[in-house]
Chains A and B, each alone.
Chain A
Amino acid sequence: MVSEITRQQFRRFRSLRRAWYSFWLLVAAYVLSLFSEHLANDRPLLMRYDGATYFPTLKFYPAEAFGGQYRTEADYLALEASPEFKAKGGWMLFPPIKSDPLRSYLRESGSPPHAPSARHWLGTDDSARDVAARLLYGFRSSMTFALTLAVIGAAMGIVAGGIQGYAGGWVDLAGQRLIEIWSALPFLYVVILIGSIYGQTFGVLLFVFLLFEWIGLSYYMRGEFYRLKHQTFTQAAQALGAGPIRILYRHILPNAMVPVITLFPFMLIGGISSLTALDFLGFGLPPPTPSWGEMLQQGLKYLYAPWLAISSVTALFTTLLLASFVGEGARAAFDPRSSNAIR
């Protein structure tokens, strides 16, 4: 189903270097962040102890296994430091960031937040948690959130806009009025309200965002479906005896995908920044969860510890910038109207 035009558009997107490299950087960063447990963890990737090999980031081992007293998970950092461990010929291979995002590392000298050091590259926050690890996990959660939001929101927008555009008449009229009323709901209050009743979990937040996410795209899809319904080729297909479902899926929907592709990166940006904003205000994901908004909040609170603000702002800025470059390129490549405007 990849047509010549689509292929041309992809070639065009590739030729826009800035967008193309930004796209792959973002994809690479996200794919890497999916393996955060193996990139930032205070459990070793590989461990030799008493002649046996262990993979603590993959598997749970109780402290008992390494001469401890309890059946709870072994404290590998303490284990590594113990003389007994060395005596048994043990060694550990740690992930690049040797910290768990949720754990406080209070052995550093001084009081948290600790400044960047060899042990904590980007320093620690006010609970002595590693900033680099939290940035990485925060990236994963905000990207996952924004991607899920954009995919489901786009699907909802296509359906809602498509129904209105294709059916037209009173369906369209009623739909438009309902959307007007719906979009006038104050988002922040809805989040606070639903969050305070059902708790601010990932799922609840996603649900509340989804309530509003589809509206923007549905306007475009309504217009596209309305336009394509009256195109001669849809009427020609009708004259050929094609049923309404066939016309919708084969003749209207594929031709209506351009706004989806061009808007998607911007929906992603919107998702990341609104989740961050919500976290910043304290209405987002609950406290121990690593999130960029919460880190920004700390950056503001501890201005004397600039590594907090600098790292989180840089991370957010870079991500949004890359996504904007992708969106800008997608718009230039796929939108026939604004053809050579951006280079």
Chain B
Amino acid sequence: MPSAEPAPAGPLLEVDGLTIRFGELTAVDGISFRLAAGETLAVVGESGSGKSVSALALTRLLPPPPACRLGGAIRLEGRDILQLDEPSLHRVRGKEIAYIFQEPSSSLNPLFTIGAQIGEAIRLHRPDVKDPVAEIVRVLDLVGIRDPEKRHRDYPHQLSGGMQQRVMIAMALVCQPKILVADEPTTALDVTIQAQIIALLRDLKQKLGMSVLMITHNFGIVHGFADRVIVMFRGKIVEEGPAETVLRSPQHPYTKALIACIPRLGQKQERLVTIDYSTLGK
């Protein structure tokens, strides 16, 4: 297992031969990829392909061994996350790598105001902030919540799903992370809100210059959002490359099938393409 210090000018995040095992089951089988500063990487794959667990593994948000065993290396600016102790890990979570999840309505604690929950993130990672309320109002404004001076006193159930997801994004951004991991952030939202959230993420990414790791099974989102794409299938990376190239000329049969399933305006789609799993081998 390589544990030597890499050159300081390396990528922001380097995943090297990451393996995730749940008991006998290998969920992720030796994947490697890099994420440069300011880059947007989309990880595409079907349910169970290992994309979400890979994202959670980036800050070891998985059950401790023996339930789940991690192999390989995840280097964030040269430090191997898999070798960190618990306290340093807590400093990486949220501060260096922040997450947004799929289900905004259940990602917020129903008993506290959204302001209090963003304030919790500030207290955890930015003790130097003197006026937390001003900072809460600032990030809420940044993610496009109107009237943030009033809204930060709202409880999660008083907000719509799209606004809840904006609050989740605000919670992630307030710690000024280097990497934002968005785990299917739009799956639970309806289509127009999806577009708004994606537009917001694109806008924020440019404004703040952070790296984004977008996990999705929707190639429609990839287009115009991601710089590079990784396609995962059965715990392995089957295709990787610049977004445009992968979208235009997919190589792997699974990618081809997935792209063929995107509905297009003006075309009548007869049947969705299916793939014969037996021919793809394991």
Complex contacts, A236 vs chain B, CB 8 Å = 99, 101, 107-108, 168, 171
Which residues of A225-247 have CB atoms within 8 Å of chain B's CB atoms?
231-233, 235-243
Min Cβ gap B188→A in Å is 10
> Which of the residues A5, A6, A241, A255 comes within 8 Å of B93, measured between beta carbons?
A241
> Which of the residues B95, B106, B158 comes within 8 Å of A233, measured between beta carbons?
B106
Complex contacts, A243 vs chain B, CB 8 Å = 90
Complex contacts, A89 vs chain B, CB 8 Å = none
Q: Is B199's beta carbon under 8 Å from chain A? A: no
Q: Which of A3, A231, A232 has the most CB of B within 10 A?
A: A232
B110–A5 CB distance below 8 A: yes
A238 to B64, CA, bound (A): 14
Complex contacts, A235 vs chain B, CB 8 Å = 61, 101
A198 to B112, CA, bound (A): 48
A238 to B61, CA, bound (A): 8
Q: Is A301's beta carbon under 8 Å from chain B? A: no
Cβ-closest chain B residue relative to A228: B109
A240–B155 CB distance below 8 A: no
Cβ-closest chain A residue relative to B112: A3
Q: A232-B101, A235-B101, A250-B120 are in contact. Are A240 and B94 (CB under 8 A)?
A: yes
Q: Is B98's beta carbon under 8 Å from chain A? A: yes
Complex contacts, B112 vs chain A, CB 8 Å = 3, 250
A232 to B164, CA, bound (A): 13
A241 to B61, CA, bound (A): 10
B 171-196 binary contact with A (CB < 8 Å = 1; else 0): 10001000000000000000000000
Complex contacts, B125 vs chain A, CB 8 Å = 241
Q: A236-B168, A240-B93 are in contact. Are A255 and B110 (CB under 8 A)?
A: yes
A239 to B112, CA, bound (A): 18
Q: Which of A6, A240, A250 has the most CB of B within 10 A?
A: A240
Chain B interface size, under 10 / 10 to 19 / 20 to 34 / 35 or more:
20 to 34
B 210-233 binary contact with A (CB < 8 Å = 1; else 0): 000000000000000000000000
Q: A3-B111, A240-B94, A241-B90 are in contact. Are A232 and B106 (CB under 8 A)?
A: yes
Which residues of B72-101 have CB atoms within 8 Å of chain A's CB atoms?
90-95, 98-99, 101
> Which of the residues A4, A240, A255 comes within 8 Å of B171, measured between beta carbons?
A240
Complex contacts, A241 vs chain B, CB 8 Å = 90-95, 124-125, 175
Min Cβ gap A231→B in Å is 6
Complex contacts, B98 vs chain A, CB 8 Å = 239-240
Complex contacts, B103 vs chain A, CB 8 Å = 232
Q: Is A14's beta carbon under 8 Å from chain B? A: no
Q: Is B59's beta carbon under 8 Å from chain A? A: yes
B111–A239 CB distance below 8 A: no
Complex contacts, B94 vs chain A, CB 8 Å = 239-241
Task: Give the A interface residue count (CB, 8 A).
Answer: 20
Q: Is A12's beta carbon under 8 Å from chain B? A: no
Complex contacts, A240 vs chain B, CB 8 Å = 93-94, 98-99, 120-121, 124, 171, 175
A251 to B108, CA, bound (A): 10
A5–B111 CB distance below 8 A: yes
Complex contacts, B171 vs chain A, CB 8 Å = 236, 240
Q: Is A83's beta carbon under 8 Å from chain B? A: no
A180 to B57, CA, bound (A): 38
A233–B124 CB distance below 8 A: no
A239–B108 CB distance below 8 A: no
Cβ-closest chain B residue relative to A254: B111
Q: A233-B107, A240-B93 are in contact. Are A5 and B155 (CB under 8 A)?
A: yes
B107–A232 CB distance below 8 A: yes
Min Cβ gap A62→B in Å is 59
A255–B61 CB distance below 8 A: no
> Which of the residues A3, A231, A242, A251 comes within 8 Å of B124, measured between beta carbons?
A242
Min Cβ gap A242→B in Å is 6
Complex contacts, B158 vs chain A, CB 8 Å = 4
B120–A239 CB distance below 8 A: no
B155–A239 CB distance below 8 A: no
A240 to B111, CA, bound (A): 18
A233 to B121, CA, bound (A): 13
> Which of the residues A3, A6, A239 comes within 8 Å of B61, measured between beta carbons?
A239
Cβ-closest chain A residue relative to B56: A239
Min Cβ gap B116→A in Å is 9
Complex contacts, B92 vs chain A, CB 8 Å = 241
B120–A242 CB distance below 8 A: yes
Complex contacts, B168 vs chain A, CB 8 Å = 236
Cβ-closest chain B residue relative to A238: B61
Q: A3-B155, A5-B155, A232-B101 are in contact. Are A237 and B91 (CB under 8 A)?
A: no
A238 to B92, CA, bound (A): 11
Cβ-closest chain B residue relative to A242: B124
Min Cβ gap A225→B in Å is 15
A255–B120 CB distance below 8 A: no
Cβ-closest chain A residue relative to B109: A233
Min Cβ gap B95→A in Å is 6
Which residues of A1-22 have CB atoms within 8 Å of chain B's CB atoms?
3-6
Interface set of B (CB-CB < 8 Å, partner A): 59, 61, 90-95, 98-99, 101, 103, 106-113, 120-121, 124-125, 155, 157-158, 168, 171, 175
The 9 closest A-B pairs by CB, nearest first: A241-B94, A241-B93, A240-B94, A239-B99, A232-B106, A236-B107, A241-B90, A232-B107, A233-B109
**Can you identify 5 A-B contacts, CB atoms within 8 angstroms?**
A3-B111, A238-B93, A240-B175, A241-B93, A241-B175
Excluding A240-B99, A255-B111, 13 further A-B contacts by CB distance (< 8 Å) are: A3-B112, A3-B155, A5-B155, A232-B106, A233-B106, A238-B61, A240-B98, A240-B120, A240-B175, A241-B91, A241-B125, A242-B124, A250-B112
